[in-house]
């Protein structure tokens, strides 16, 4: 009887806790869905500041904006954590023209990030079409003096589009050096996208210092198809002109807002996105969305009067796109100071409707977060899976084995915009953006309440 | 030992079946994600034919287009099932102007579907602002001679937007007659949307024949907020001019394509969407998407050489928006012919990324479809719930207790476009549209293989 009573009491208490959790999350959701500042913050960041590549004047404007926005949202303290960032500049308009037997045609291209430009008068060379590195190897005798055109398509049959991106992006990363190895003078890469438009998508390339650092551009999908069709019929030359180069590193900053924990102030939870973006777009989905959602989680906690048990850091990371210096610096300084980082969450997969979270943590920790699934699912994140996090919080995991989570919004439209000129404010939907923040706030709240 | 062997055999066979199911669904998905005609079909339907309200010339163009598309997709037979449809026409440009102490301002309005127009010179009257029917009742003495402005907002805190729509749409449906009951001369309804733009959203109103059939328009959200603010400060008159009227019913048609079943040809599975749309938009999400997905399921089945056991009907229903005559006719004729309808699926919630299915069926049947969840989830529909179907297949359930399912795409953006001028081809994403078709094909395939 005593056991029965105890059991009933436990059940009742558990149920009360669950009801109270559910009510708290509902309160958070209502606060965000009613009074969110995320959309307006995104408008300012994207339309008033715009593209904000590491080292650019806009990087500093965005840092100041972020500091102020974190203060307004109610951080107990806000500071800038300095870190040196690379300073690559595009240096001018990227141009390419195809010269076919039928005449000339302008191609819609964008130089790859970190790529070096042609010389001032540009380069002109015959184009060699390949669809893979295997084909490059099999044609290596033909590469010398050519512009290699990697026309590897995004795999549409991969339902999770980040898989297709992982599959295709090696041509952007390694393509230039692997072609240079055999004497290529330039590279054209099919954009990493399955969009229906012709916007080219940039992104970082990584030169292998053993080979010449040859110019490299991404080409829009329609132009890629057109160029491939021309090459099937006749020899084609392309003239291209790009201007990319590096200036000396600059002093950039992670922008950090903090709520001090009431019970376990030394246990730090991090939530963030990255403040930098490529220069050819407004960086709305990548990753303005993650930044304003991070700020919104803070604002909502303060607005409902929530006092966290643990210390929560709201971080706008520097230089994710072409260096990851911000994420690395954050973990380095945490290590130097002997901080205890118990959890980190990143939003860097677009401001789309939330579907789930991907977790990098122990099986035991995953079991624990899985018990929260039914509390969070009503707001969109019904899919919890192992694997995931974010580039900027990765160093925390590598340094401290900090458990990580990544917000996983629906991914179908992400690569329509990623690193392309149409990644603008208008491409983000207000409610989808806000619901992302709701799900992030819910997860952070549960981790703060119950630990991991 | 014998039992153990039998059990092992069953396990092995079950596992083989599951593998084979999974492989078949993969094949269907790959076919659709690689060779889909859905997007191009949608382009033709929306951009070449356009809005296609029941009774309009575009209705007939759409019927001919649909017949041809079903033939091209490989139906064994295609026919038109005649049904009389109402023929409401807008009759001209809907106009409204606010007259405030500060001057005149044009309002962005659209007459409600089935509403009757003002007389030729229009009407002008003071505006009475109410936020609910309760407030209307409390102010009923003030209604006479006024234009009643229902400014009831969409409830943003309802995560499933169809709930907010259900909550708000009574003001569109019943608002005019409830105001006319107290002598109102016109009605303005806040659009059923939480968009950030100013497009007004139409949709059917239902006059109560006991009261005057007064003119009624929906107003864009920004103008609604502006008008409410003006009314807070001073008396405002609105002049409005609309032209809606009914012409005699027309002969419309459900467009039906069929694949004859090889084993159970008398057991009929229906999959469909509705071919009509409002006249003020291209009807891309509502419900061009459902139509081209339906045709795509057929095309994919034929393309992979699948021969269904049961008879599958691919139906483009007539007149969902302002009469449901198509859906009713389909069930009536089925009853008259003594047909056996074992399952029906509708897609009429937009061409957005698929998230789940809602089912109207017995608990036992729901248990059975739930065992398929893990087979379908990899393509997006991971959320299976009770409740759902579609307006056009509802009569099948009411007539035969036919089990129903409705595709549930993500709903966050649906009411940005629903019945508004921006429901255009460009608002639909190719992959999201195709993935909807993938999930529909998967469910239909499983029902055909295993019954319910």
Contact assessment for residue B432 and residue A412, using Cβ atoms and an 8 Å cutoff: yes
Q: With an 8 Å Cβ cutoff, are B429 and A410 in contact?
A: no
* pLDDT confidence tier of residue B19, bands split at 50, 70 and 90: confident
**Model's pTM, two decimal places?**
0.95
- Report residue B156 as tokens: 């943003």
Q: Is the pLDDT score of A364 beyond 60?
A: yes
Closest CB to B159 among A196, A355, A378: A378
Q: What are the DSSP calls for B24-53, one per residue?
A: HHHHHHHHHHHH--HHHHHHIIIIII----
**Residue B343, helix vs strand vs coil:** strand
pLDDT tens readout for residues A253-275: 999 999 999 999 999 999 999 99
* Helix/strand/coil for B304: coil
**Contacts of residue A29 in chain B, CB cutoff 8 Å?**
157, 159
For residue B30, the chain A residues in CB contact (below 8 A) are: 157
Give the pLDDT of residue A19: 74
Backbone phi, psi, residue B391, to 5°: -60, -40
Helix-helix angle B289-303:B2-35, to 10 degrees: 120
Task: Determine the distance in angstroms separating the CA of B330 from the nearest CA of chain A, rounded to an integer.
Answer: 35
Which tokens go with B41? 């079909």
**Poorest-pLDDT segment among A9-13, A87-91, A167-171:** A9-13
**Mean pLDDT across chain A, nearest whole number?**
96
CA distance B344 to B314: 10
The mean pLDDT value for A102-116 works out to 98
Whether chain A has a CB inside 8 Å of the CB on B155: the answer is: no
ipTM above 0.85, yes or no: yes
Establish how many alpha carbons lie within 13 A of residue B232's alpha carbon, considering only the half-sphere containing its beta carbon.
8
Calpha distance B451→A365 (Å, rounded): 41
CB-based contact A159 B416, cutoff 8 Å: no
A381 contacts on B by Cβ (under 8 Å): none
In terms of CA atoms, which chain B residue is nearest residue A380?
A: B159
Cβ separation B196–A355 shorter than 8 A: no
Tens digits of residue pLDDT in B181-238: 999 999 999 999 999 999 999 999 999 999 999 999 999 999 999 999 999 999 999 9
Query: What's the longest Cα–Cα distance across chain A?
Result: 93
pLDDT of B130-182, one tens digit each?
Answer: 999 999 999 999 999 999 999 999 999 999 999 999 999 999 999 999 999 99
* Subunit contact A157:B430, Cβ cutoff 8 A: no
The token pair that represents B131 in the structure block: 């936020």
Best mutation target among A355, A384, A412, A430 (most B Cβ atoms within 10 Å) is A412
Q: Per-residue pLDDT for A1 more than 60? A: no
Chain B residues with CB under 8 Å of A441 CB are none
Determine whether the interchain pair A157/B33 forms a contact, defined as Cβ–Cβ distance below 8 Å: yes
Q: What is the DSSP letter of B54?
A: T
- The separation between the first and the last C-alpha atoms of chain B, rounded to the nearest angstrom, is 33
Q: Which two tokens stand for residue A112?
A: 């790859």
Query: Which residues of B fall within a CB distance of 8 Å from A417?
Result: none
Q: For residues A317 and A349, what is the distance between their CA atoms, to the nearest angstrom?
A: 15
Q: Give dist(CA A240, CA A215) in Å, integer.
A: 9
Among A39, A378, A429, the residue with its CB nearest the CB of B412 is: A429
Nearest 5°: the CA angle B274, B277, B282 is 120
CATH 3.40.630.10 intervals, chain B: 26-87+248-450
Q: Which residues contact B396 (CB under 8 A, 6 or more apart)?
A: B270, B330, B331, B334, B341, B344, B402, B404
- Model confidence at B120: pLDDT above 60: yes
Q: Does B39 reach chain A within 8 Å, measured CB to CB?
A: yes
User: Which DSSP symbol is given to B204?
Assistant: B
Q: How far is CA B221 from the centre of its chain?
A: 22
Question: And the tokens for B391?
Answer: 């307006």
Which two three-digit tokens encode residue A358? 């991907």
* Residue from B196, B431, B437 whose CB has the most chain A CBs within 10 Å, to mutate: B431
Q: Give chain A as a 3 state SS string.
A: CHHHHHHHHHHHHHHHHHHHHHHHHHHHHHHHHHHCCHHHHHHHHHHHHCCCCCCCHHHHHHHHHHHHHHHHHCCCEEEEEEEEEEEEECCCCCEEEEEECCEEEEECEEECECCCCCCCCCEEEEEEEECCHHHHHHCHHHCCCCEEEECCCCCCCCCCHHHHHHHHCHHHHCHHHHHHCCCCCEEEEECCCCCCCCCCCCCECCCCCCCCCCCEEEECHHHHHHHHHHHHHCCCEEEEECCCEEEEEEEEEEEEEEECCCCEEEEEEEEEEECCCCCCCCCHHHHHHHHHHHHHHHHHHHHCCCCCCEEEEEEEECCCCCCCHHHHHHHHHHHHCCCEEEEEEECCCCCCCEEEEEEECCHHHHHHHHCCHHHHHHHCCCEEEECCCCCCCHHHHHHHCCCEEEEEECCCCHHHHCCCCCCCHHHCCHHHHHHHHHHHHHHHHHHHHHCC
**Token match 């609604």: residue?**
B224
**Options 3.50.30.30, 3.40.1350.10, 3.90.550.10, 3.30.70.2190; which CATH number does A95-244 get?**
3.50.30.30
- The whole-angstrom distance between residue A403's C-alpha and the CA centroid of its chain comes to 19
Q: Does the domain spanning B26-87+248-450 belong to CATH 3.40.630.10?
A: yes
CB contact under 8 A, A382 and B379: no
Locate CATH 3.40.630.10 in chain A. Answer: 27-86+248-450
Nearest by CB to residue A412, choosing from B157, B378, B432, is B432
pLDDT band at B6 (very low <50, low <70, confident <90, very high): low
A29–B157 CB contact, under 8 Å: yes
**B30, B196, B353 ranked by CB distance to A157: nearest:** B30
Output the CA–CA distances (angstroms, integers) from residue A283 to A51, A439, B104, in the order listed.
Answer: 6, 22, 40
Most distant CA pair in chain B, distance: 93
The torsion region of residue B50 among left (phi > 0), alpha (psi -120 to 50) and beta comes to: left
Element (H, E) at B366: helix B363-370
CA angle A297, A299, A301 (to 5 degrees): 70
Contact A157 B29 (CB under 8 A): yes
For residue A214, give the nearest of A274, A159, A148 by alpha carbon.
A148
The region that residue A428 occupies, defined by phi over 0 for left and psi between -120 and 50 for alpha, beta otherwise, is beta
* Torsion, CA B145, CA B151, CA B152, CA B155, rounded to 10: 170
Alpha carbon distance B191, B185 (integer Å): 19
How high is the pLDDT of residue A170?
98
Given the candidates 3.30.56.10, 3.50.30.30, 3.40.50.300, 3.30.70.1170, the CATH classification of the domain at B91-243 is: 3.50.30.30
Counted residue by residue, chain B has a size of 452
> Quick one: fold of A27-86+248-450?
Aminopeptidase (3.40.630)
Of chain A, the percentage scoring pLDDT greater than 70 comes to 96
Between CA A301 and CA A298 the distance in angstroms is 5
DSSP E strands, B387-446 = 404-409
Chain B interface includes A422 (CB < 8 A)? no
Question: How many other CB atoms are there within 10 angstroms of residue A57's CB atom?
Answer: 10
Residues of chain A with CATH 3.50.30.30: 95-244
Which residues in chain A have their CB less than 8 angstroms from residue B378's CB?
159
**Chains A & B: contacts with CB separation below 8 Å:** 60
Residue A412 has its nearest CB partner, among B39, B353, B413, at: B353
Residue A348 neighbours by CB under 8 Å, 6+ apart: A273, A274, A286, A287, A290, A320, A390, A391, A392, A406
- pLDDT confidence tier of residue B291, bands split at 50, 70 and 90: very high
Chain B CB contacts of A34 under 8 Å are 156-157
Q: What is the mean pLDDT of residues A213-235?
A: 98
**What does residue A132 show for φ and ψ, rounded to 5 degrees?**
-165, 170
pLDDT digits (tens, 9 = 90+) for B61-112: 999 999 999 999 999 999 999 999 999 999 999 999 999 999 999 999 999 9
Report helix, strand or coil for B226: helix
What pLDDT is attached to residue A376?
Answer: 98
Residue of B nearest to A432 (CA): B412
Residue A7, pLDDT above cutoff 60: no
- Identify the CA nearest to B215 among candidates B194, B192, B238, B198: B238
Cβ–Cβ contact B383 with A under 8 A = yes
Cβ contacts (< 8 Å) between A380 and chain B: which residues?
A: 159
Q: Residue A196's closest chain B neighbor by CA? A: B430
Distance of CA A233 to the CA centre of its chain: 39
A-chain CB neighbours of B159 within 8 Å are 29, 33, 378-380, 435
The residue of A193, A381, A418, A431 whose CB has the most chain B CBs within 10 angstroms, and thus the best one to mutate to test that interface, is: A431
Tell me: pLDDT of A15 over 70. no
Q: Which residues of B touch A159 (CB under 8 A)?
A: 29, 33, 378-380, 435
Span A117-147, pLDDT tens digits? 999 999 999 999 999 999 999 999 999 999 9
Q: Which of B42, B30, B99 is nearest to B275 (CA)?
A: B42
Say yes or no for a CB contact (<8 Å) between A431 and B412. Answer: yes
A25 vs chain B: nearest CA distance in angstroms? 12
Tell me how far the alpha carbon of residue A138 is from its chain's centroid. 35
Cβ-based contacts of A27 with chain B (< 8 Å): none
- List, for residues A140-190, the tens digit of each pLDDT value: 999 999 999 999 999 999 999 999 999 999 999 999 999 999 999 999 999
Q: Are B291 and B275 in contact (CB under 8 A)?
A: yes
Q: What's the CA gap between B169 and B203, in Å, rounded?
A: 9
DSSP H or E run through B192: none
* pLDDT for position B3: 57
């Amino acid at each position: 009887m005593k056991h029965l009573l105890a059991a009933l009491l436990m059940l009742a208490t558990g149920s009360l806790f669950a009801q109270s959790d559910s009510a708290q999350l509902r309160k958070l959701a209502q606060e965000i869905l009613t009074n969110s500042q995320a959309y307006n913050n995104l408008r300012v960041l994207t339309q008033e500041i715009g593209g904000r590549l590491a080292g650019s004047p806009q990087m500093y404007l965005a840092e100041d904006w972020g500091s102020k926005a974190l203060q307004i949202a109610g951080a107990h303290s806000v500071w800038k954590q300095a870190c040196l960032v690379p300073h690559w500049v595009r240096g001018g308009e990227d141009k390419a023209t195809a010269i076919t037997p039928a005449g000339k045609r302008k191609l819609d291209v964008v130089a790859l990030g970190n790529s070096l430009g042609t010389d001032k008068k540009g380069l002109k060379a015959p184009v060699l079409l390949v669809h893979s590195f295997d084909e490059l190897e099999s044609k290596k005798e033909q590469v010398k003096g050519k512009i290699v055109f990697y026309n590897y398509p995004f795999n549409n049959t991969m339902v999770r589009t980040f898989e297709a991106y992982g599959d295709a992006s090696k041509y952007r990363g390694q393509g230039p050096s692997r072609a240079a190895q055999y004497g290529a003078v330039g590279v054209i890469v099919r954009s990493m996208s399955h969009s229906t438009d012709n916007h080219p998508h940039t992104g970082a390339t990584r030169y292998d210092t053993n080979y010449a650092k040859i110019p490299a551009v991404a080409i829009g999908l329609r132009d890629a198809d057109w160029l491939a069709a021309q090459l099937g019929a006749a020899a084609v030359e392309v003239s291209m002109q790009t201007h990319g180069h590096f200036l000396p590193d600059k002093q950039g900053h992670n922008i950090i807002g903090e709520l001090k924990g009431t019970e376990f102030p030394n246990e730090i939870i991090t939530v963030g996105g990255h403040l930098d973006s490529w220069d050819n777009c407004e960086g709305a989905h990548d990753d303005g969305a993650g930044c304003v959602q991070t700020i919104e989680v803070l604002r909502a906690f303060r607005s409902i009067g929530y006092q966290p048990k643990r210390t929560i850091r709201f971080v706008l990371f520097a230089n994710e796109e072409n260096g990851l210096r911000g994420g690395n610096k954050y973990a380095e300084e945490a290590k130097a100071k002997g901080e205890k980082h118990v959890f980190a969450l990143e939003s860097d997969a677009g401001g789309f409707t939330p579907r789930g979270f991907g977790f990098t943590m122990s099986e035991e920790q995953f079991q624990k977060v899985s018990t929260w699934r039914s509390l969070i699912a009503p707001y969109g994140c019904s899919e919890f899976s192992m694997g995931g996090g974010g580039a900027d919080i990765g160093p925390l995991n590598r340094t401290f084995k900090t458990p990580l989570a990544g917000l996983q919004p629906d991914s179908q439209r992400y690569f329509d915009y990623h690193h392309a000129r149409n990644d603008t404010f208008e491409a983000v939907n207000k409610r989808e953006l806000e619901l992302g923040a709701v799900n992030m706030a819910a997860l952070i709240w549960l981790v703060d309440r119950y630990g991991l």
